[in-house]
Amino acid sequence: MKVLVVNAGSTSVKYNLYEMNTEAKLATGVVERVGTPNAEHVHEGGQDKVACTGDKASAADVQRAILDHLRRPGGPLAEPGSLGAVGHRVVHGGERLITPTRIDDKVEEVISECARFAPLHNPVNLAGIRAAREVFPDVPHVAVFDTAFHAQLPPHAYTYAIPHELYLQRGIRRYGFHGPSHQFMALSAAEHLQTDLGKLKLVTCHLGGGASVAAIDGGVSIETSMGMTPLEGLVMGTRSGDLDPAIPMLLARDGMTIDQIDELLNRKSGLAGLSGIGADFRDVEKAADAGDPRARLAIEVFVHRIRKYIGAYAAILGGADAIVFTGGIGENSARVRQQVCDGLFYMGVVLDEEANTTKRAAERGGIVEVTKHRSPTKILVVRTDEERMIAREAMRCVTGATGAIRSVRARPIPIGVSVRHVHLSRQDCDALFGPGYELTKKRDVTQPGQYVTRETVDLVGPKGEVRGVAIINPLRKQTQVEVARTDAFALGVAPPLRESGKLDGTPGLTLRGPAGTVAITSGVILAHRHVHMNPAQAKDYGVSDKDMIKVRVEGDREMTMGDVIVRVNPEYDLDMHIDTDEANAAGLNNDSVVAFDGLQVGRS
């Protein structure tokens, strides 16, 4: 299934298209200067001017430009009906929208109501949603909220020390933001440290134009720096972060309007206001290196605030196993990481200065460790991927818990549930349907060149029968019947677990068709679970034909499946076949994926 992820901002709309069976990114782009006559669509093939229906590019114009690009001849959505879902990043969901939610008119109303808490974000998020629902009317749309990951904050963490009636009546409380990024950092840290996330205490730092810190205990956010709005907390590109609440009142008494104060704190403060240079940290850093005193002060204030929050959150957690950095600054500024960590030796942080300077997460699988081996508290640098997290959440919302894997670094393998079916020989097809009968195509199956026919047969065994069993074409040299254990019990046969085509020593039964019956003396098997791959996919996964691998089911029923045979053929496409009994036991269906867990030790 293909999922389009849309992140609608005030002046730009970013998007990514994923094939969720493999999580391959099929397209990426951004429409800039939204709301002007000069909006441009920048994509992997170049850039185009957005056609406007009025005097400036509306949200609907933008979505139509994206759709036209993706549906162009040869494009990733050229085939009608190939888009399975659209995932939307929404900054604020309040207390009512705390999980990824399928969007309808009522959900839009709640997002609109929450705009009072995120006036810079929710209105443009909602405009993007409405435009996308108009352009993609037959596709499910899912909202994924920045606030959702922090929904389990305890009351003592989210409650402000103001009259409690303001919370009860108006919802004034801490909500927290950057949820997908903090979740991604936590999952990445657990996989890197090879420790169950439920056992880890983490401080995660998302440092970019917007910035926030979270305390994560056992995978649950228990404290975070942003508050009711994204204005609270760290120093940011243009936002002030924490300040004395009396300051806005003082400014108002001195004649500034509410809108002017809002503009000052949200768009003219932070690094831009402190440095007088701008919000881009690279420019501030360059000026500081050249000796600019305001730029130096801006960095010092920025670092001091981060270190203060890390120390506070370590106290709340009772220590930290790791401190994780991501975002444009967190990932790319060795200076900030070093200055933050210089004051954290008391926490057990022993920074490896060379690794901090030279190792880059983007070049090392998305995560690097930049502390000395002896450091009890690890410093990790992560290349975050919020869009992929949103795509996964949208997939799970539409298809169920197994619609996407949870592991950050693992590779997905799509599932094909193999229901009972028959592969016929030419001779047996003639006996069942008449001499020379040509079976007719009903639908394709996952493997190229194979299809389910409109015709069916009945299976008759010593104990009972199973009617209306599917036939898969093309015809084979020998008839083969694949059943699940429950089918075998009902029929009264005891087939072995075998690979397809290995039929020696297998039992037989009777097949019944409209023109007659056929008694086969062998050919009934329980199909061994297996994965189809083409050579390029096998190389990508690091496996070979006939290898045995393991996979993890990461839905509501978590388990590991071993003894999965790899079959490599140029005609194959990636999917894993299991029978209906195994699928039911694991909670899997044809929209599910499992996580590749490597070669099975001792088997090849």
Strands 201-207 and 322-326: parallel
Query: In Å, how far are 51, 62, 66, 298, 437 from 39, measured between CA atoms?
Result: 8, 8, 12, 33, 60
Give yes or no: 146 in active site: yes
CA distance 560 to 554: 9
CA distance 65 to 587: 39
Enter the DSSP assignment of 10: S
Phi first, then psi, for residue 56 (nearest 5°) are -150, 160
Long-range contacts of 189-198 (CB under 8 A, 24+ apart): 189/321, 189/322, 189/324, 189/367, 189/380, 189/382, 190/219, 191/407, 191/408, 191/409, 192/367, 192/369, 192/380, 193/321, 193/322, 193/378, 195/321
Strands 83-90 and 480-482: unpaired
Give the CB-side neighbour count of residue 571, counting CA atoms within 13 A: 5
Q: Are 470 and 476 in contact (CB under 8 A)?
A: no
Give the containing element (helix H, strand E) for 369. Answer: strand 367-369
Token digits of residue 314: 């370590």
Task: Determine which one of 55, 105, 138, 146 is catalytic.
Answer: 146
Bridge partner list, 5: 16, 87
Contacts of 10 (CB under 8 A, 6+ apart): 34, 35, 120, 124
Q: Are 153 and 222 in contact (CB under 8 A)?
A: yes
Give the containing element (helix H, strand E) for 324. Answer: strand 322-326
CA distance 408 to 420: 34
Give the containing element (helix H, strand E) for 267. Answer: helix 258-267
CA distance 225 to 399: 33
Closest CA to 102 of 127, 70, 129, 76: 129
Query: In Å, how far are 296, 308, 372 from 340, measured between CA atoms?
Result: 15, 9, 16
Token digits of residue 7: 């992140």
Token digits of residue 188: 């990445």
Catalytic residue positions, numbered = 146
